[in-house]
Copies of this chain bind each other. A is one copy, B any other.
Amino acid sequence: MTITITAFDHSPDGGKGLARDTRVRWALEEVHQPYAVRLVPWRAMKEPAHLALHPFGQIPTFEDGQLVLFETGAIVLHLASHFPGLLPADPTARGRAISWLFAALNTIEPPILELSNAKLLERDQPWAAARLPLVQQRVRDRLRQLAARLGEAEWLDGGFSAGDLMMVSVLLRLRSSGILDEFANLAAYVARGEARPAYQRAFAAQLAVNLPKAPG
């Protein structure tokens, strides 16, 4: 049985690793599971064949025999629950790690998505410049709380977990804004995540898809 995931045939970020397949590739590398990738052309994202796998016409999806998953959080949690390496064995520590996974996706990522929308979807609107500081402040408010909790710890709760994998992945989206670097301990935390060999392999794999093709 081969695990198969889907990814963009060319990522909107050109290979910076911000598309969500990188999160799943990273989890697969952390748990040492081989996987195949099916690239989905943009024109096929909203077509019936892909919508059958992903109701919102996005990537990544995850297939392993009869099991078909969508949503990055569900895929990472599945991998973390079925293979060692991403969740502690102790039930209370495991519960806290899963809390951090959800916090990354439902508390930290929404204001970051709003910031992305402000910069991309609304950049030509007349309110763009005046509104941006408000949206940035909502991101900062969350990061201040996260930074206070992390303190000088290496990871959010004991050893590296699926919660850290997702939190680092979400925070990476902020790097270009400069906001991440306002919080030295969070910037260092993200850098520790990126330095992991599993992340490096995941990043290289997504980059290989997005490198300019040599002229035939």
Residues of B contacting A146 in the complex (Cβ-Cβ under 8 angstroms): 55-56
Q: Is A95 interfacial (CB-CB < 8 Å)?
A: yes
In the bound complex, what is the Cα–Cα distance between A149 and B107 (angstroms)? 26
Q: Would you call A69 an interface residue if the criterion is a C-beta within 8 Å of the partner chain's C-beta atoms?
A: yes
Q: Does A188 contact B (CB under 8 A)?
A: no
Q: Chain B residue with minimal CB distance to A122?
A: B134
A113 CB–B CB distance under 8 Å: yes
Asked if B131 and A102 make an inter-chain contact with CB atoms under 8 angstroms apart, the answer reads: no
How far is it, in angstroms, between the C-alpha of A92 and the C-alpha of B68 when the chains are bound? 7
How far is it, in angstroms, between the C-alpha of A68 and the C-alpha of B99 when the chains are bound? 9
Are the C-beta atoms of A74 and B99 separated by less than 8 Å? yes
Chain B residues closer than 8 Å to A99, beta-carbon distance: 69-71, 74
- A: number of interface residues (CB 8 Å): 47
State the CA gap A103–B70 with chains docked (Å): 8
Q: Which residues of B contact A74 (CB under 8 A)?
A: 95, 98-99, 101-102
Nearest-CB residue, chain B, relative to A142: B56
Contact in complex: A92, B110 (CB < 8 Å): no
Which of B106, B121, B134 is within 8 Å of A73, CB to CB? B106
Task: A164 to B137: give the CA distance in the assembly, Å.
Answer: 33
With beta carbons under 8 angstroms apart, the residue of B72, B96, B103 that contacts A56 is B103
The proximity string for A residues 10-22 relative to B, scoring 1 for CB distances below 8 Å and 0 otherwise, is 0000000000000
How far, in whole Å, are A67 and B145 apart by their CA atoms in the complex? 22
In the complex, A142 Cα to B46 Cα: how many Å? 12
Chain A interface residues toward B at CB < 8 A: 51, 55-58, 66-74, 77-78, 91-92, 95-96, 98-99, 101-103, 105-107, 109-110, 113-114, 117, 121-122, 125-127, 130-131, 134, 138, 142, 145-146, 148-149
What are 9 sample pairs from A and B whose C-beta atoms fall under 8 A apart? Answer: A55-B148, A58-B107, A71-B102, A73-B102, A73-B106, A74-B99, A114-B117, A122-B131, A126-B127
